[in-house]
Amino acid sequence: MNFDPFVLPFFLGLLFMGAILIWKYIVWMETIPVSDRRIMLRNIFTVRSFRAFKEAVMEGLLHRRIFKINRMLGYMHASLATGWFLLIVIGTIESKYGHKDVFNMPWDPIFFNYFEPNKHGIEYGKFFVFTMDFLLMILLISVFLAVVKRFYSRLFGMKKTTKLMLPDRFALYSLWLIFPARLLAESLNAAHYGNGGFMTQPIGNLISSFLSLNEIIDLEYSMWWFYSIVLGAFFVSLPFSRYMHILTEIFLITFRNLGVEPAKNLKGYTRFEINSCSRCGICIDKCQLSSAAGINNVQPAYYIQSIRYNLPFDDRAYNCLLCGRCNTYCPVKIDVTNMRSITRKLANETVGFHYDYLPDYVKHDKTEVTNVLYFAGCMSHLTPSIPKAMEIIFDNAGITYDFIDRDGSICCGRPLMQSGLTNAAAELKNKLTKLIESKDSMILVTSCPICYKTFVDDYKLKMHVVHHTELIKILIENKRLNISGQNISITYHDPCELGRGCGEYENARLVLSKIGKLIPIEQEKEKALCCGGSMSNLKVQGAKRELIAADAVNQLNANNPDLIVTACPLCKKTMAKHADGKMMDIAEVVADALTSKDKENNYYIESLNFHNK
């Protein structure tokens, strides 16, 4: 057995890390519900396991998603993770091969060159020496990039990089030192024995040109000590720092691929999510509160950090639009929106509103049977042109409809739900369900994506729920509506709740492409911007909302379209004042483009065509 006291810091650090990790993982796994565990067991011998393995390689090592977002950052992460992984693998093979002993000690691969400097008897010794040097070079480059990124994050296209906590700093500085320490130790070793690879040999020669052999031997020995100490320091700090993500991410990927859904509390799966966050900082730049309104301390990286270390939240849980852009961009695919809803719920369980004053809705025998029920929603009452346009569309298509909230709406309860007031939301839900079921129809059409999302997700309605974009698309496809194309360019703004919330991107685009020329923009579909008006944010001030709205309109206006069309009354209301009269809802656009209708309703597009002529 090869042994020297300097292996102890490394070995003890490794043992400590292993013990803490095993303990943590067992505790968290315990809190995964039995039903989820059954699902995992059932799926473990299916193709899903291969998918999990593939994703673990693609994301845990190669970091493909980060590459897609930012190449420099992707290269840095990929080279560090893959490089280190290969260094460990090849080092292990080399040492086992070199000792002709499969069960050698865990420190043998790390300090192999100290114990076996001349590599007697290793076939392909040159191959190993070259590969280990090459991997070390790759790692040194990525550490160099990491250091540069920490101080000049703009070079990497990041406006902001994450602020670190004490354990993070400790781990980060030891990580920075690990590979330079290894390089020096290996080079001194090469100087001592007069061997080495393409990188360690020249450095070794350089060192031996001004140091005597005895000095080199002393220095080499202390360098191995230093290398072992920084490795140990990194291992000890790993379970308490952001580097916890390295191993936790693999668990998360496995769970997700085996069919576990995001949990409804902060235990089990969510615990793994929390610890998989590497605070890479991608969410900080992508969050519009940061990029447009200059609020830099509430982003998912910091929010998850507060949960993980039980720090006071301040406004990190509330100052969020729940637009879901961070979920789109998160390279680990953490469902932050879900996590925020959970925290809000836990904090506000005792807060209850009561709606006894709402009338009791009962079904009468004489209730008129109609094709559709139309529920405009609270926000549509602030933009009356949208319900009006919908009425024109219904009339034109010959649909009988019952405008159930013509005289004003009951809220669907989503704003309450997103503030964590579940009980109050359930009360509203019961009332509204009764109102809807007191009518006689098969289809419920709503103009508000917020209501739509709630109706689909939370209400168990016995009818088909559609947003008006879908209805219009169906009507046009069935030739119930005849629309004439116009010579105009249109940019479509995806509302958060309809797009990322319900995954409906194409209906509106299909409709709009029949009316004008649809111009794509950079930030659309899953990456769509938030209008800033979201009711999910209790905290943010009006002035900041305006900044977000103005910035969103600016980006939508990038190609200078004739019209900016959205499908959400709230988006329209929030952005219209910045849009120079270009902002319209899809219902209004369609109502304007109808071929057979009262001409007086055709106010906007005609005037536009007039100007163009």
Partner 1 sequence: MSPEFGFKINKSAQIDLDKADDSLYRKICSIEPSLKLCIFCGSCAATCSAGQFTSFSFRKISIDLRRGMIKDVKEDISKCMLCGKCILVCPRNVNTRHVLFHLKKHFDENEL
Letters for 410-429 (x = contact with partner 1 by CB under 8 A, - = none) are xx-x-xx--x-x--x---x-
Single out the residue of 364, 374, 376, 302 nearest to residue 339, CA to CA: 302
* Site stretch for partner 1 (CB under 8 A), options 7-15, 59-67, 182-190, 530-538: 530-538
Output the smallest distance, CB 338 to partner 1, in A: 20
Secondary structure of residue 476 in the 3-state scheme: helix
Structure-token pair, residue 592: 């304007």
Output the smallest distance, CB 136 to partner 1, in A: 54
* Site stretch for partner 1 (CB under 8 A), options 6-14, 286-294, 541-549, 590-598: 541-549
Q: Scanning the structure block, which residue is given the tokens 């309605």?
A: 461
Q: What do you get for the CA distance between the two ends of the chain, in Å?
A: 90
Structure-token pair, residue 11: 């070995």
Output the smallest distance, CB 350 to partner 1, in A: 5
Write down the H helix ranges in 398-463: 414-418, 422-437, 449-457
Sign of CA dihedral 217, 222, 224, 227: negative
Sign of CA dihedral 33, 39, 45, 51: negative
Q: Kindly state whether residue 444 participates in binding partner 1, applying the rule CB under 8 A.
A: no
Single out the residue of 345, 394, 396 nearest to residue 370, CA to CA: 394
Q: Kindly state whether residue 213 participates in binding partner 1, applying the rule CB under 8 A.
A: no
Structure-token pair, residue 90: 């090849």
DSSP 439-469: SB-SEEEES-HHHHHHHHHT---SSEEEEHH
DSSP 3-state percent helix, strand, coil across the chain (nearest 5) = 60, 5, 35
Q: Kindly state whether residue 341 participates in binding partner 1, applying the rule CB under 8 A.
A: no
Structure-token pair, residue 366: 């004489």
Write down the H helix ranges in 238-295: 245-257, 269-276, 282-286, 288-291
Q: How far is CA 125 from CA 128, 131, 144, 400, in A?
A: 5, 10, 29, 83
By beta-carbon proximity to partner 1, the closer residue of 64 and 434 is 434
Q: What is the C-alpha to C-alpha distance for residues 393 and 358, in angstroms, rounded to an integer? A: 31
Q: Kindly state whether residue 542 participates in binding partner 1, applying the rule CB under 8 A.
A: yes
Output the smallest distance, CB 553 to partner 1, in A: 16
Q: Kindly state whether residue 485 participates in binding partner 1, applying the rule CB under 8 A.
A: no
Output the smallest distance, CB 351 to partner 1, in A: 5
Q: Kindly state whether residue 533 participates in binding partner 1, applying the rule CB under 8 A.
A: yes
By beta-carbon proximity to partner 1, the closer residue of 236 and 417 is 417
Q: Kindly state whether residue 344 participates in binding partner 1, applying the rule CB under 8 A.
A: no
Cα 138 from chain centroid?
Answer: 28
Q: Kindly state whether residue 453 participates in binding partner 1, applying the rule CB under 8 A.
A: no
Rule CB under 8 A: choose which of 34, 408, 522, 600 binds partner 1. Answer: 408
Output the smallest distance, CB 417 to partner 1, in A: 10
By beta-carbon proximity to partner 1, the closer residue of 151 and 357 is 357
Query: Which 257-296 residues touch partner 1, going by CB under 8 A?
Result: none
By beta-carbon proximity to partner 1, the closer residue of 5 and 408 is 408
Structure-token pair, residue 211: 């140091």
Strand partners, 467: 446
Query: Which 355-384 residues touch partner 1, going by CB under 8 A?
Result: 355, 357-359, 378-379, 381-382
Query: Which 77-136 residues touch partner 1, going by CB under 8 A?
Result: none
Output the smallest distance, CB 409 to partner 1, in A: 6
Q: How many residues bind partner 1 (CB under 8 A)?
A: 37
Q: Kindly state whether residue 539 participates in binding partner 1, applying the rule CB under 8 A.
A: yes
Total count of residues recorded for the chain: 613
Rule CB under 8 A: choose which of 535, 550, 601, 602 binds partner 1. Answer: 535
Q: Kindly state whether residue 354 participates in binding partner 1, applying the rule CB under 8 A.
A: yes
Three-state helix/strand/coil letters over 177-227:
HHHHHHHHHHHHHHHHHCCCCCCHHHHHHHHHHHCCHHHHHHHHHHHHHHH
Q: Kindly state whether residue 613 participates in binding partner 1, applying the rule CB under 8 A.
A: no
Q: List Cβ neighbours of 480 (8 Å cut-off, separation of 6 or more).
A: 397, 398, 399
Determine the residue type at 168: D
Output the smallest distance, CB 356 to partner 1, in A: 9
By beta-carbon proximity to partner 1, the closer residue of 390 and 432 is 432
Query: Which 549-588 residues touch partner 1, going by CB under 8 A?
Result: 570, 573-574
By beta-carbon proximity to partner 1, the closer residue of 432 and 521 is 432
Output the smallest distance, CB 280 to partner 1, in A: 31
Secondary structure of residue 122 in the 3-state scheme: coil
By beta-carbon proximity to partner 1, the closer residue of 511 and 552 is 552
Q: List Cβ neighbours of 240 (8 Å cut-off, separation of 6 or more).
A: 167, 171
By beta-carbon proximity to partner 1, the closer residue of 215 and 551 is 551
Output the smallest distance, CB 494 to partner 1, in A: 20
Output the smallest distance, CB 323 to partner 1, in A: 15
Output the smallest distance, CB 548 to partner 1, in A: 14
Q: What is the C-alpha to C-alpha distance for residues 15 and 340, in angstroms, rounded to an integer? A: 35
| Residue 160 DSSP symbol | -
Q: Kindly state whether residue 436 participates in binding partner 1, applying the rule CB under 8 A.
A: no
Using CB under 8 A, list all residues that contact partner 1. Answer: 348, 350-355, 357-359, 378-379, 381-382, 407-411, 413, 415-416, 419, 421, 424, 428, 533, 535, 538-543, 570, 573-574
